Amino acid sequence: MAAQSSSISQPPLPLAGRVAIVTGSSRGIGRAIAIHLAELGARIVVNYTSKSADAERVAAEINDLPAREEITGKGPRAIVVQANVSEPSQVKSLFDAAESAFESPVHIMVNSAGILDAKYPTVAETSVEDFDRTFSVNTKGSFLCSKEAANRLKKGGGGRIILVTSSLTRSLRPGYAAYAASKAAVETMAKILAKELKGTGITANCVAPGPIATEMFYDGKSTEVVERIAAESPFGRVGEVKDVVPLVGFLAGDGGEWVNGQIIPVNGGYV
């Protein structure tokens, strides 16, 4: 009997040849999304606002991924671009940088950038300044990224707009009014955007995580509060970034084409 070859053919990478911008990808959920999309073959713009060292580490991890024939010879797997998503000119620079570095239109835009007031104030305690800042980053940032994407994503199929929102838009818990409202506005916008993009082949969806074990989630919470939140989940734990990224990867690929204008909670039944 002839000896079998030791080499095993690998399945094709579903996002090979596609370019993705992931905002807020220097840490947390955004970081995990950027790495996951890169593992699926996408070339990535790693975006950050202030922590350049964190963003450079994410890009280095992506650029060190094992080489695959589908994505070799096309420059770096990832680049780093600083941009504040609440500034129109800086959002434009994200797309300019992607098109220049990868010599390709952008196919996928994931907006994961967001802020949450660690004090968890009631409406009565929320300052106007904190309210404006929350909406500037979470809502205006999503609007500007969506606006640029609607005008510049590759048309004709494969274009994906994915906005990270929150399951708090459903659970409506005290202390999160400004944050939940800022995300609810994004969800409404995404549903309308999906209809406005008729004929382009571009989809627009929201992924709405529940409590996820990131720096932003733990900030300002005592151990007792974290344990109480975990106990409310049917799984008895707080979610992890690995629970979120497969859904984003699915929506970004060809299999997600028929999912459009949807708000998809990913929370283990927390809400």
Report yes or no: 142 and 134 within 8 Å, Cβ to Cβ: no
- Cα separation of 37 and 44, whole Å? 8
- The distance in angstroms from the start CA to the end CA of the chain is 58
DSSP state string for 167-210: THHHH--TT-HHHHHHHHHHHHHHHHHHHHTTTTT-EEEEEEE-
Strand partners, 93: none
In 3-state terms, what secondary structure has residue 103? Answer: coil
Report yes or no: 16 and 253 within 8 Å, Cβ to Cβ: no
Active site residues: 179
Phi and psi, residue 152, nearest 5° = -125, -10
Name the nearest CA neighbour of 260 among 196, 191, 199, 208. Answer: 191
Distant-in-sequence, close-in-space partners of 181: CB < 8 Å, separation ≥ 6: 135
